[in-house]
Structure 1
Amino acid sequence: MSLNYDDVVRTGLAKQVADEIRAAILDGRLKIEERLPSEEELAKRFGISRPTVREALKRLAAQNLIRSRRGPSGGNFVSKPDPEGLSNAITGAATLLVGVGAFDVEELVTARMETESVCARLAAGNRTEADVAAMAAEIELQRRRSMSGEEFCASDVRFHRALVDATQNGPLRLMMYTVIESFIPITNMLTYGLYERRGAADSHESILAAIREQDADRAVERLRDHLTGMRVVLVQALERRAEKSDIGNPAT
């Protein structure tokens, strides 16, 4: 293990110690499951107090970079990266950006169109029967008249999540987490009440049929048709919102 104990200045000590240990983890100087020196040893090597070391370790634990273990063989250990935890953090930031209007409609649709097209192509080649069953189950739910609007939107998210899972590509699933868990719910919220459910379920069915038959080109074509239709509905929703805003705030 190699840490630069001398590269810490006297201000913001806890943050600097946490940053040094974090850098050692990210560049491989500290390995997954490796035990860190004790608080007392870290304090001596960095030339700081134990409370400062403790604060640095709390920062690292909050980032899911280390975890503590009790007992004779306990201590602080480097954690295995948690893709879902990282994705949740990214998604929270993306949801905020979408909510404050940092992205316009065309950007959102284009992002989904291009990234999900890649997923549809890979899903057609790599899908398992379990993946096909997961998507089919959501379509079956979407055809139920008793399903509420909120339930339909949740099923829509699960369908696209299953499509991404069918790629069998871990890095791509991580990258798509923001699109699935942030962009889709936001656009669903805007189009709520305007999107024709039967048409949406039919569109999902056509995507699934191509994926089931492992026809990559058709899967991409059907997905892009689906999102093109969503773009039209989304524009209509935003136009209605603008009209209501104008009515509520007439020009003087």
Structure 2
Amino acid sequence: METKLTSDRDLSAQIAAAIRDAIIEGRLIVDARLPSEAEMSENFGVSRPTVREALKRLAAQNLIRTQRGATGGAFVNKMTYPDAYGQQITTSTLLLSMNDVDFETACEARYTLERACAALSAQRRTADHLATIRAEIHRQGQPGLSDEGFCASDVTLHRALVDGAGNPVLSYQLAGAVEAMQPLMNMITFTTRSRARIVDLHTALADALESRNAMAVDSALQHLADYTTELGRDVLARRAAKQLT
């Protein structure tokens, strides 16, 4: 983990990056104990508070865990896909907001990625995945459901579809697509969308999954993508017209 630190950059960030690189490259394996704070302070030529800040950065990324006691210290953590979902969602949300991604680009990406799961989900979905989707469809049909509740239900439904593919790598990769892009699209389209039509489209999706018809699942997702794109164009056209008046 030896690295040359430069004074023009955050020292704790440089130390955290050096340790992270050692973990990624396999020089520090799962459950390996890191040197003590005192040892790292001496090795890196920095204060112990600086080392402590670097360890906090790594812990926040779930790369390490700390244990108290005589056999305690900082250890390389085994990261799981569920552990990483939050980071993927946060990163996707920040990228979308900071780079001002236009609606149609986000919609195209989100449904193209989700359709990659269609065939696998039709083949592998469990009764629990299908039950979750059916339950959310029922929830979406309730007249008292708020816009926030409808959005949350929409995310849960599509999360079940993606997880139904039974592939944790896909679930991780699509975490941002579903849980970052879906709220963005809902936020833009909620004023003009027809909940009844969305419920119908979701029902067609559920029926296709129940019959394990991959082509029908893909078709249902395409219809959802087309409708969402149509709504987005309508909303943005109205906004543009309003600005001209």
TM-score normalized by structure 1?
A: 0.88
Q: Quick check: 2:104–2:232 contact (8 Å CA) kept in 1?
A: no
In structure 2, the residue matched to 1:25 is 23
Letter in 2 for 1:8: K
In 2, distance between residues paired with 1:117 and 1:216?
A: 10
Larger radius of gyration: 1
Report the aligned-residue RMSD: 2.0
In structure 2, the residue matched to 1:246 is 244
Alignment of 1:66-145 (within 5 A): 66-84=64-82, 86-99=84-97, 102-145=100-143
- Residues 92 and 218 of structure 1: CA distance in aligned 2, closer, same or farther (over 3 Å): same
* SS of corresponding position for 2:53: helix
In structure 2, the residue matched to 1:157 is 155
- Residues 14 and 103 of structure 1: CA distance in aligned 2, closer, same or farther (over 3 Å): closer
TM-score normalized by structure 2?
A: 0.90
In 2, distance between residues paired with 1:242 and 1:68?
A: 54
In structure 2, the residue matched to 1:202 is 200
Deviations along 1:124-171, one digit per CA (max 9) or x if unpaired, are 011001111010100111122222232222211111111111111111
Runs of 5+ unmatched residues, structure 2: none
* SS of corresponding position for 1:125: helix
Deviation of 1:246 after TM superposition, in Å, equals: 2.7
Letter in 2 for 1:177: A
In structure 2, the residue matched to 1:169 is 167
In 2, distance between residues paired with 1:232 and 1:214?
A: 28
- Residues 150 and 50 of structure 1: CA distance in aligned 2, closer, same or farther (over 3 Å): closer
1, 4, 7: which is aligned to 1:8? 4
- Residues 76 and 116 of structure 1: CA distance in aligned 2, closer, same or farther (over 3 Å): same
In 2, distance between residues paired with 1:178 and 1:90?
A: 6
Deviations along 1:154-213, one digit per CA (max 9) or x if unpaired, are 211111111111111111111111111111111111111211111111110111111111
Runs of 5+ unmatched residues, structure 1: 248-252
Q: Quick check: 1:124–1:214 contact (8 Å CA) kept in 2?
A: yes
- Residues 208 and 103 of structure 1: CA distance in aligned 2, closer, same or farther (over 3 Å): same
In structure 1, the residue matched to 2:223 is 225
2:189 matches 1:191: yes
47, 50, 58: which is aligned to 2:48? 50
In 1, distance between residues paired with 2:147 and 2:174?
A: 24
* SS of corresponding position for 1:15: helix
Of 234-243 and 35-44, deviating more is: 35-44
Letter in 2 for 1:156: D
Deviation of 1:38 after TM superposition, in Å, equals: 1.4
